[in-house]
Amino acid sequence: MKAKPTVLKLGGSVITDKNKPATANLDAIERLANEIFQANVSPLILVHGGGSFGHPIAKKYNLAEGYEKPAQMFGFSETHRAMTQLNGLVMEALLSHDVTAVVVAPSSCVVTKAGRIQSIELKPIKRMLDMGLVPVLYGDAVLDSQRGFAILSGDQLVSSLAINFGASRIILGGDVDGLFTEDPKSNASAELIRHVSLEELKSEKHKIEGSKATDVTGGMLGKMQELIPALEHDIRTLVVNATKPLRVYKALKREEVIGTIIEKG
């Protein structure tokens, strides 16, 4: 691989309507696929969240805590299938915009231990990157060596992939402009913080508002905490609002964009 990859996450709150079960936001998916194509960044790894596809089913079957009873087995299958459905829509949009994207299903290449990634098959992803292909992964129901199964968030994947492939940066596309001093959805006085250090993030001083809808992987703060290992590896993270046109494009192009930069130094 010639250059260090960029890891881009598209949040479930952006590509789905988190308040309506299994409802994709096709306009957003289409627009973002076009922005990714136009930005033409390579190497690029794409990860997306579960939104109203993965989370409600994982919650219904109480999968986040692992295997407890046989009835959950169906929930495992259903959660994975729901994620493949959402992923299918993302892939369709990417391919229709000529992005050379290839699906890498986490349920087939990741095993967790007590919810944390224990092993991940990286060779095919590395080869894809070398070939100029864009691997597309997503939060998924995966097998867990201690608990039977687990729900792996896209954010844990982002951090792990960024570290394993020595990424130059992470871009997180969510449904708010970045990290705020207060919850921006309920406080008009909330101010966007343009720069956050790793120490500040660790101290949980900053609140961030994400979706209030079902999220079995810990909501926006949980997502931010997942980034800590990548930040410790000096991988800079930029949080932008992917519901607003051109924010992801500008982030990918390294242009000036509204958002929050989180970095170690």
**What is the spatial distance between Cα 107 and Cα 124, in angstroms, rounded to a whole number?**
15
Pick from 55, 169, 206, 247: which binds ligand IP8 (CB under 6 A)? 55
Q: Is 217 in the site for ligand IP8 (CB under 6 A)?
A: yes
Pick from 7, 36, 93, 141: which binds ligand IP8 (CB under 6 A)? 141
Q: Is 154 in the site for ligand IP8 (CB under 6 A)?
A: yes
Q: Is 214 in the site for ligand IP8 (CB under 6 A)?
A: no
| Residue written as token pair 């881009």 | 8
The sign of the CA dihedral 29, 35, 40, 45 is: negative
204 touches 42 (CB < 8 A)? no
- The stretch among 30-38, 48-56, 118-126, 169-177 that binds ligand IP8 (CB under 6 A) is 48-56
Is the bond preceding 135 in cis, omega lying within 30 degrees of 0? no
Q: What are φ and ψ of residue 34, in 5° steps?
A: -65, -40
Q: Is 226 in the site for ligand IP8 (CB under 6 A)?
A: no
Closest CB 261 distance from ligand IP8, rounded Å: 21
Q: Is 160 in the site for ligand IP8 (CB under 6 A)?
A: no
Q: Is 213 in the site for ligand IP8 (CB under 6 A)?
A: no
**What is the spatial distance between Cα 101 and Cα 91, in angstroms, rounded to a whole number?**
7
Q: Is 210 in the site for ligand IP8 (CB under 6 A)?
A: no
Binding pattern to ligand IP8, positions 87-126, x when CB under 6 A?
----------------------------------------
SS3 string of 136-149? Answer: EEECEEEEECCCEE
Q: Is 25 in the site for ligand IP8 (CB under 6 A)?
A: no
User: Considering beta carbons, is residue 17 or 182 the nearer one to ligand IP8?
Assistant: 17
Please name every residue paired with 73 in a beta bridge, in sequence order, or none if there are none. Answer: none
What does the chain come to in residues? 265
